[in-house]
Amino acid sequence: MQSFVQQKDSNAKMKPLIALQPPKLSNLELQFSEEVVWQRLQIREFVFRFENLLALTAEDRNLLQDAQGDWVTHRMLKKLVCSLMELIAHYGVENDTDQQKMAKQFLQDEHIASSRPYLSLQHWQTISATLLAAGYEDTPVFNDEEAIATSDAQQQMDWLPSFVTRSMQANGTGPMPIVKDALKELKTINLLSMCTLYTPCIRKDLLQGSVQLKDEEDALHALRRQTMSDEMHARTTKNTLLQQLATAEEQDAIQQKIEDVDNKIDEQRHLLNRKEVDVYLLSRRTSKRLSSAGTDQHGNQYWLFGDLHHYQDDQDQDFWGRGVIIIGPGCHVDDEQPSEEISKDGHRSPCVARLTTNNSKRWWYLSGIENIDMLVQWLNHHSEPKHLIRQLSSRSRYLNHLLS
């Protein structure tokens, strides 16, 4: 019996294959040890989460945006410590008056209110004692001899004008109580941040966060529906005006109406984008703990840290707060094998993304909407964890709304 099944022509040309490659990851050179970098990132995320309760300026937040920036010689760390101590002094820690009294005494020190950009070692000792009294046994201990030596040097400089002391500090001739990496101080600040989590104001903020997020998400859904309805109505109105424009005598007036319709829709879209940004940032702030977005099959961990630049739209290439940090071996296409390819009929060839030399762990970063979208497509093709892909997609949408 003759078969009516169409036979494939063995001489027919194969359909072209579409190569799919991972995005190019940029090497992130660490200026400090990993321990110091993680201490900085924890401080950074705490500020992102509770910045509404801290007396920090936009300049301070911009400085914190770079996790490897010059935090040590800047007044920002002193302001952050004082803000944390003010929370303890004003609200107390779970009805424990000892820490509250110690925090008040700390803030009453005359040098705290001075223009000095740093804290003395005596100040750090006071903070350490406050934390020890609160039960933080792993609090760093600051050496007494160093504190006395630094105090003598500071007292000798007290009579000098502030511009002279600033110049001496800049030239390395003044007393610098904090070493370059400031590991002990950073650990102490993180422990102090943990201590403030037990103050009534932060506990209240934590409890209200999820409720506020639900309300904002409902408002966003309503605004999306309203924007969609307004755009449909605007298109109908604009089409009617364009038809009138071809025959009416008062073309200038009709043209003005068309521009008014366009401007109204632009304003509505801007409002919607701003609401999308607000909800994304709020959802990031309500997360309970600092954790990675996920891990791929190569062992790469993906981290999305908070954006402290807020609504600045000229920082699209910033990677600490607007990009993706990857810690792991990374991946690249093996030059000795053909690129991973997908035929138009959907067939997938085996994964050929290779780990870096010796499978060593490194730090990488990825910035820009196009690169993040490329990463999402690549991870999705390899059936990586859905929650990882969702978080990366959300970061891309956030940037689109922010920069549009």
Tell me the domain boundaries of the chain.
Answer: 70-198, 222-285, 292-403
pLDDT at residue 302, rounded to an integer: 97
Residues of the chain with pLDDT under 50: 1-6, 17, 147-177, 334-358
CA distances from 50 to 136, 187, 201, 202 (A): 21, 18, 10, 8
Rounded Cα gap, residues 49 and 208, in angstroms: 13
pLDDT at residue 22, rounded to an integer: 86
pLDDT at residue 343, rounded to an integer: 37
Given a contact cutoff of 8 angstroms between Cβ atoms, the answer to whether 332 and 305 are in contact is no
Tell me which DSSP letter residue 93 carries. B
pLDDT at residue 12, rounded to an integer: 52
Say how far residue 82 (Cα) sits from the centre of its chain.
23
pLDDT at residue 15, rounded to an integer: 52
Q: Which residues of 124-155 are buried (b: 16+ CB within 10 A; e: fewer)?
A: bbbbbbbbebbebeebbebeeeebeebeeebe
pLDDT at residue 189, rounded to an integer: 96
Q: Residue 295, SS3?
A: strand
**For residue 378, which of 271, 288, 297, 258 has the smallest C-alpha distance?**
297
pLDDT at residue 98, rounded to an integer: 83
pLDDT at residue 357, rounded to an integer: 43
Rounded Cα gap, residues 196 and 49, in angstroms: 13
